A and B are shown apart, each in its own frame.
Chain A
Amino acid sequence: MTLQIQRSFDREKGAWNITPKGDVDISTASMLRSALDEAYRENKADIILHFDDLNYMDSTGLGVIIGAYGRMKENGNNITLKNPRDNIRKLLRITNLDRLLCPELCE
């Protein structure tokens, strides 16, 4: 299983677009952590995680996102998930993290 992560900064919106493709689990979660940390270190701004092509994620990925969320909140920045697949939506729902990370699912 592999994970590829693309990131770009949207100057108009003043936010990072980060797109992971593949699987986030115990062997790849550190890649996601590095991508989030590096982006935020480079430019302290909101992060939008585009999950359209993320096939799988478990608590290891959730942990990374919660950690980043906590650090970013201290500076008033936000992290938002977009278009998670059904398996990830379910994970967000049962952990109550949808309200925090993916408000579009609760509307």
Chain B
Amino acid sequence: MADMMKFSVPGKPQYVSTVRMAISCLANSLGFDVEAIEDIKIAVSEACTNVVCHGTTGNGEYEVCCELREDRLVISVVDKAGGYDPETYREPCLECPKEGGLGLYIIKALMDEVEIVTEMGIGTRIEMVKYTK
């Protein structure tokens, strides 16, 4: 059975860097190379930023769960902030850059697998996988 680590994080901007540093240490200890560690740092920050900006109310907490498998790191960012309608999500147009909306696009570009499960009235879970190769 894979080892698991869970962080319960207050939904405030100042804690996103703490999560980023913790996951970076974890990825380093699993033997990921520098480029992969940077990819994981950005992807996790983007997922946490999404929660802090859109997914919590007040000081609501969210969870960051890390599953340490032999060949991969699986990171899930889970909030209980009511979910959203995935039909409303639009891929950003890279020809006409805007200030927002790049987060999910970047996560998908940097991680090997990404799954987003959102349930209206419950919350959202972003699961991201990076293989050690």
Interface residues of chain B, those whose CB is within 8 Å of chain A, are 13-14, 16-17, 20-21, 35, 38-39, 41-42, 45-46, 48-49, 52-53, 92, 94-95, 97-100, 102-103, 105-106, 109-110
**Known contacts A25-B16, A25-B20, A26-B53; is A59 also within 8 Å of B102 by CB?**
yes
In the bound complex, residues from chain B placing their C-beta under 8 Å from that of A63 are 98-100, 102
In the bound complex, residues from chain A placing their C-beta under 8 Å from that of B14 are 27
Whether A90 and B45, one on each chain, are in contact in the complex, defined by CB atoms closer than 8 angstroms, is: no
CA distance A88 to B98 in the complex (A): 18
CA distance A90 to B38 in the complex (A): 10
In the bound complex, residues from chain B placing their C-beta under 8 Å from that of A48 are none
A-B pairs, top 5 by smallest CB distance, nearest first, are A1-B17, A87-B38, A27-B13, A96-B94, A59-B102
In the bound complex, residues from chain B placing their C-beta under 8 Å from that of A25 are 13, 16-17, 20, 45, 49
In the bound complex, residues from chain B placing their C-beta under 8 Å from that of A95 are 92, 94, 97, 102, 105-106
Whether B103 and A59, one on each chain, are in contact in the complex, defined by CB atoms closer than 8 angstroms, is: yes
Query: Could you list 20 A-B pairs, sorted by A, with CB under 8 Å?
Result: A1-B21, A25-B17, A25-B20, A25-B45, A26-B48, A27-B13, A27-B14, A27-B17, A63-B98, A66-B98, A66-B99, A86-B38, A87-B42, A91-B106, A94-B106, A94-B109, A95-B97, A95-B102, A96-B97, A97-B97
Interface residue count for A (Cβ, 8 Å)?
25
User: A10-42, CB under 8 A of B: which get 1 and which 0?
Assistant: 000000000000010111000000000000000
Whether A59 and B97, one on each chain, are in contact in the complex, defined by CB atoms closer than 8 angstroms, is: no
Partner of A58, one of B13, B42, B95: B42
Tell me the smallest distance from the CB of B92 to a CB of chain A, in Å: 8
In the bound complex, residues from chain B placing their C-beta under 8 Å from that of A78 are none
